[in-house]
Structure 1
Amino acid sequence: MTSRRRRALLALAGTAGLLACLSPLAVAQPGETSEPIVTTEYGKVRGTAHENATVFQGIPYAAAPTGDRRWRKPAEPQPWDGVRDATKPAPPCAQVPGELPEGSTSEDCLYLNVTAPKKDSGKPRPVVVWMHGGGFYMGTGSSYDAQRMATRGDAVVVTVNYRLGIFGFFAHPGLAGSGTFGLQDQQAALKWVRRNIAAFGGDPRNVTVAGQSAGAMSVCAQLTSPSARGLFDKAVMQSGSCGYTWRNHYHYLNEQASSIYQPVSVMRERGAQTAAQLGCEGDTQDVLRCLRDLPVDKLMPVQQYFIQPAYNTPTLPLHPEKAVKSGQFHRVPVLSGSTKEEAMAWTAVYDQGKPMSEETYRTVLKETFGDEAGKVSKRYPLQNYPTPAHAWAAIVTDDSWSCTQYRVSQELAQHVPVHHYEFADPAPPPVGPEPEIPTGAQHASELWSFFDLGGVAPPFTADQEKLSEQMIDYWTSFAASGDPNGKGGVPWPRMRPGQSAGTQQLAPGDGEIRQIDFAEAHQCSFWSHLR
């Protein structure tokens, strides 16, 4: 992927004896401090008490992957004495400016955040572990304020940092763990949750791993990773799956066709070329020693060369979709879906920050599809859309996002319970600077339904507020039991393999939460034959 695509992508893994040692969430008594204190296996942490929730930020789940620990599997953090301050976010993992305006140069970033309802439940709560999106090169767990989700959903929510870009997915001949360090970090966080979450009121035997975009692709990878076995009990994938691929020109001009997961041989070759580019030569150990000695700022120019997890590795033995197709994945219930207009996030700014023009549309249609361009044009007549940007977005959304997500959901549904959805709010709050044309339910627009993003509460209408509450009810009911229907609302049937219906549309307004024929709406049969 080029740097422009990487910027565009969301510019937007215990024993009873150990659990018994962990103290429950401390509740302040009259005359005591209002700052909640919890004892983890590594030491005590002090969080922040809000009106309805307690929040603990910057808890280390692994040792800093710095110095000689760069590009090694995560190690356990060092215990600490006294009470550790957990009232402020930890540094984000190293990344260029984008989702975070200032970026980050920190490698000491393997921390997580825990949000728990303040009210005593009398029993352990379900746990949701959130893997952030950001194209595997940007983002941080602390951007997702989970108080609304935790409080309304009566769940403990954990948001996680994991190594990104060259720090998380670098590969090189002879380097153990090549291309999968970020996925290994996620598994280390899930292990920490199993061992420690009871102290925060969570149920370590009822953990849901969830994520959006790159976070969802991470979840799909964890579903097929042998080393993730036993680390979670349910999975949620939002706008990202094991099947995500794209064609030439899809999200920006001159983009090259590829897929999110790559063979480790390809990534190792890329790593060898990058090492030479950085002036590190010699035998393998000399090269790795040289690379580990480089300061962060020397690696940042090539940070985004490595944003595709590697398979044919111990962490991912198979391409994740191949593993799903062959039934080689962890048998847990799945909730999966996408937004109705995913690709509007890109086509609205396709022409140097402007919406795609008709001239550009006709050029990329022909160059992308060649002799098949007429078939695509006939299926997506330009006159049926308000702008060429909307027409191209429909093509890219259906082929690259919607139908790949649906296909994997159908494959999973042959073995486990699956609930499939489409987020279809026609006018959700924006997730970044607003372009010249409406973008509808674009990529990432459903995130407001669960989180305050970057410290900002969503400016919802009354109908959008009701939708958000219903979605939190669905998601946390699923986390509790594997069935989103536990808290009432419009019934949501599970997906049945081979049946065209079975997708829950999620949109604001009376009657707008309902079952739809997703495959028909997104022309999935057409795209399966065109491929």
Structure 2
Amino acid sequence: MTKKLLALLTAALVPVAGAAVLSAAAPSEAATDNAASRTGVQPDVVRTDSGRVQSKTVGQARVFDGIPYAAPPVGALRWKAPQPVQPWTGVRESKLGNPCPQQANSEVPKGSTAEDCLYLNVTTPTAPARKPRAVMVWIPGGGFFEGAGNSYEASKLAARGDVVVVTVNYRLGIYGFFGYPGLPGSGTFGLQDQQAALRWVQRNARAFGGDPRNVTVAGESAGGMSVCAQLTSPTSTGLFSKAIMQSGSCNFNWGDNSQYPGQAADSPWHPIRDVQANGKEWGAEKLPDLHCKPGQSAVDCLRTIDSDVLIDDMFQFTQLGYGGSAVLPLSPAKALQAGLFHRVPIISGNNHDEAAAWLSAFGEIKDYPKLVTAMVGAKKAPKVLREYPLSSYESPAAAWSAVTTDRIWSCTQVSSGQQAARKVPVYAYEFADKHSPLAAPGLGAAHAAELVYLFRPGGIDFPLTATQQTLSNQMIDYWTAFVRTGNPNGPGRPAWSPTGQHEVKGLSLAPTDQTGIHPVNLSTEHHCAFWAGLS
């Protein structure tokens, strides 16, 4: 990394981001054209800077689905930075846009090969507002190879929290994180999409009754890691003033054989040169079968591959490239450790039993010591087995779940919280409801189990008990108070203090018929000093 690039990162990230947001908040012509937004009355049709959009009513919210925020990244625009939208005439109906290409999965059962997918959805309360509302921009998870903003129906979050919620689709896998020698933006196209959506919010928030000076970027899993990337990206300066990272952090990484048998230790962040080398190797296999035109570049020739063929190699590019560009000059983990990130308040947390969601990959778990040895090696395994004795757990599977939850998820999030807390307020938490309707029975508070407490995933009202509904209301109140003010506290819920820099303390979030909401030392509960010493 050159000294010039490091100076750029330092200059861009050290100033308080709130001041930068103020400089970017001049209302667009489209926003000032909406007289209704100035009076606090939300219209059914809103004029964006590219054209008019129609809403539909869901509960106590208006939903504007399927708004394009960038041009379709197809043909010559594949593997390029997002480009401006072509303005339209007439009124676009509220209809979900295509999810970005991905193989069939539980969220997109039929999969998708539609590269015309750069759409976002805006949800606003139907109630009049006395002043512009805070805005929450949600980046979905899915391992950087699946998922869509379309899946996060936000009517209850927007209405109860009195905020505007924007959910975003962005390019995934080989479409979003491909790299090739000499290709500008290698390994970062999905991150650039997210920034394009945040810039769209800056230009259009006022049209929907939102405040472009008060934007929170939030996400879960790969979405949480994306938030970390935006926290450490100079090119996101001025685009948000608060951040929420759920089950995904700057320091996220995993050990050998820890999520799947045969898996190698790694992290989501790779040097751009490695991403480009991967792309060159992949391209060398594909180019001989293509009819490249004389003088055509390798990348331009690869852009001619049909999307339904490209989808077969979706998983070969799921790491984000850093170094050599202003999007991610440093690995987010190194940038955070060096204090090179936007100075904004942060919510950061995990679920109590994150790794339980991956237990099925190991089949019937009987030999717990063998799994530990495969993860940390024969020399370190006895230390782990002493720290997590099988006798302390109801089964080998429960012991393995605890080990991998702490090693992969909780302690990487804790260390990120420790580093960020040196500079900004960090509100740490742990979701601990053992019986979320999004988790299979017996898996406890597994990965993604908290999402039903904030959203209506897929537009479905999942069944919640009375105490779970109370917890959902309290979580929405915490999250949206933070979105509005940078402080999650308020009436009707226990106080939540920012964590210190040494031990990470926060709130455990569970229904009152379990443990209720109470303070927790996350560093101690998840043996984080042990894991820091082991590594």
Structure-2-length-normalised TM-score: 0.91
Q: Deviations over 1:150-209 (max 9, x none)?
A: 010000000000000000000000100000000000000000001101111111110000
Residues 365-444 of structure 1 mapped to structure 2, 5 A cutoff: 365-369=372-376, 370-431=378-439, 434=440, 438-444=442-448
Match of 2:221 in 1: 213
Q: Residue 168 of structure 1 corresponds to which residue in structure 2?
A: 176
C-alpha contact (below 8 Å) 1:90/1:111 kept by paired residues: yes
State the partner residue of 2:273. 265
Q: Deviations over 1:111-168 (max 9, x none)?
A: 0000000010121111000000000010111111101100100000000000000000
What residue number does 1:152 align with?
160
Q: 1:507 aligns with which of 489, 503, 510?
A: 510
CA shift, 1:49, in A, is 1.9
Which of 211, 220, 232 is matched with 1:224 structurally? 232
C-alpha displacement at 1:497, in angstroms? 1.1
Query: CA shift at 1:18, angstroms?
Result: 2.9
SS in 2 for 1:350: helix
SS at match of 1:484: coil
Q: Which amino acid letter does the alignment assign opposite residue 380 of structure 1?
A: Y
Equivalent residue number for residue 105 of structure 1: 113
Question: Deviations along 1:368-426, whole A, 9 cap, x unmatched?
Answer: 22211111111111122122111111111111100110111110010011100000111
Structure 1: gaps spanning 5 or more residues:
1-12, 28-33
Report the Cα distance in structure 2 between the residues aligned to 1:25 and 1:425, rounded to whole angstroms: 42
Say which of 328, 337, 359 aligns to 2:349: 337
- Measured after TM superposition, the shift of residue 350 of structure 1 is 2.4
The 5-angstrom pairing of residues 319-330 of structure 1 reads 319-330=331-342
2:524 pairs with 1:520: yes
Secondary structure, counterpart of 2:145 in structure 1: coil
Aligned position for 1:30: none
CA contact (8 A) 1:237 1:337 kept: yes
* Contact 2:59–2:155 (Cα < 8 Å) also in 1: no
Counterpart residue number, 1:10: none
For 1:24 and 1:391, the matched residues in 2 are separated by 59
Label 1:421 to 1:429 Cα distance change in 2 as closer, same or farther (>3 A). Answer: same
Aligned equivalents of 2:74 and 2:30: distance in 1? 30
Per the alignment, residue 56 of structure 2 pairs with 48
On the 8 A contact 1:136/1:165 being kept in 2, the answer is yes
Contact 1:342 1:443 in 2 (8 A): yes
Distance in 2, Cα, partners of 1:73 & 1:414: 34
| 1:465 to 1:385, Cα distance in 2 relative to 1, 3 A | same
Query: What's the offset of the Cα at 1:35?
Result: 8.4
Pair 111,420 (structure 1): closer, same or farther in 2 beyond 3 Å: same
Indicate conservation of the 8 Å contact 1:248/1:368, yes or no: yes
In the alignment, is residue 492 of structure 1 matched against residue 503 of structure 2?
no
- Which residue of the partner structure matches residue 299 of structure 2? 288
Residue 343 of structure 1 aligns to a residue in which SS? helix
Q: How far does residue 512 in structure 1 lie from its aligned partner after superposition?
A: 1.7
Kindly indicate whether the alpha-carbon contact (under 8 Å) linking 1:22 and 1:41 is maintained by their aligned counterparts in 2. Answer: no
1:346 is aligned to 2:350: no
Q: CA deviation at 1:286?
A: 2.2
**Amino acid aligned to 1:90:** G
Is the 1:209–1:232 contact (alpha carbons within 8 Å) kept by the matching residues of 2?
yes
Distance 1:50 1:298 in 2: 38
**What is the CA–CA distance in structure 1 between the aligned matches of 2:208 and 2:443, rounded to whole Å?**
39
Partners of 1:35 and 1:49 within 8 A in 2: no
Give the match's secondary structure for 1:508: coil
Given the superposition, is the C-alpha separation of residues 24 and 527 from structure 1 closer, same or farther in structure 2, using an over 3 Å criterion? farther
Q: Tell me which residue corresponds to 1:95.
A: 102
Q: CA deviation at 1:516?
A: 1.0
Deviations along 1:301-344, whole A, 9 cap, x unmatched? 11111111111032100010111111111111101000000000
Are the equivalent residues in 2 in contact too, given 1:504–1:516 (CA < 8 A)? yes
Distance 2:122 2:404 in 1: 36
Structure 1 residues 185, 501: CA separation in 2 closer, same or farther (over 3 Å shift)?
A: closer
CA RMSD of aligned residues (A): 1.9
* Counterpart position of 1:81: 89
Q: Could you tell me which of 457, 462, 467 is aligned with 2:471?
A: 467
2:371 to 349, 364, 388: 364
Looking at structure 2, the residues matched to 178 and 167 of structure 1 have their Cα atoms a distance apart, in angstroms, of 11
Change (3 A) 1:244 1:104: same
Q: State the alpha-carbon separation in 2 of the partners of residues 496 and 367 from structure 1.
A: 35
1:22/1:198 contact within 8 Å kept? no
Any conservation in 2 of the 1:24–1:38 contact (CA below 8 Å)?
A: no
- Tell me, which stretches of 5 or more residues in structure 2 are unaligned? 1-20
Deviation at 1:363, TM superposition (A): 2.3
Q: 1:18 aligns with which of 4, 22, 29?
A: 29
Partner of 1:68: 76
- Asked whether 1:458 is paired with 2:462, we answer yes
1:279 deviates by 2.6
Contact 1:26 1:36 in 2 (8 A): no
Alpha-carbon distance, 1:22 to partner: 3.6
Aligned to 1:141: 149
In the alignment, the residues of structure 1 paired with residue 222 and residue 407 of structure 2 have an alpha-carbon distance, to the nearest angstrom, of: 18
SS in 1 for 2:63: strand
- Share of identical aligned residues, percent? 48
Query: TM-score by structure 1 length?
Result: 0.91
The amino acid that maps onto 1:484 is P
The corresponding residue for 2:285 is 277
1:114–1:159: 8 Å Cα contact kept in structure 2?
A: yes
1:299 partnered with 2:310: yes
- Equivalent position to 1:192, from 200, 217, 220: 200
Structure 1 residue 15, shift from structure 2 partner: 2.0
Contact kept in structure 1, 2:31 and 2:207, CA below 8 Å: no
SS of residue in 1 equivalent to 2:144: coil
Q: 1:24 to 1:306 in 2, by over 3 A?
A: farther
Indicate if the aligned counterparts of 1:24 and 1:200 stay in contact, CA closer than 8 A: no
Alignment check: 8 A CA contact 1:239 1:401 kept: yes
Moved more, 482-491 or 109-118: 482-491
| Aligned AA (2:34) | S
Cα deviation for residue 367 of structure 1 reads: 2.2
**Aligned residue for 1:114?**
122
Aligned-pair distance for 1:488?
A: 4.3
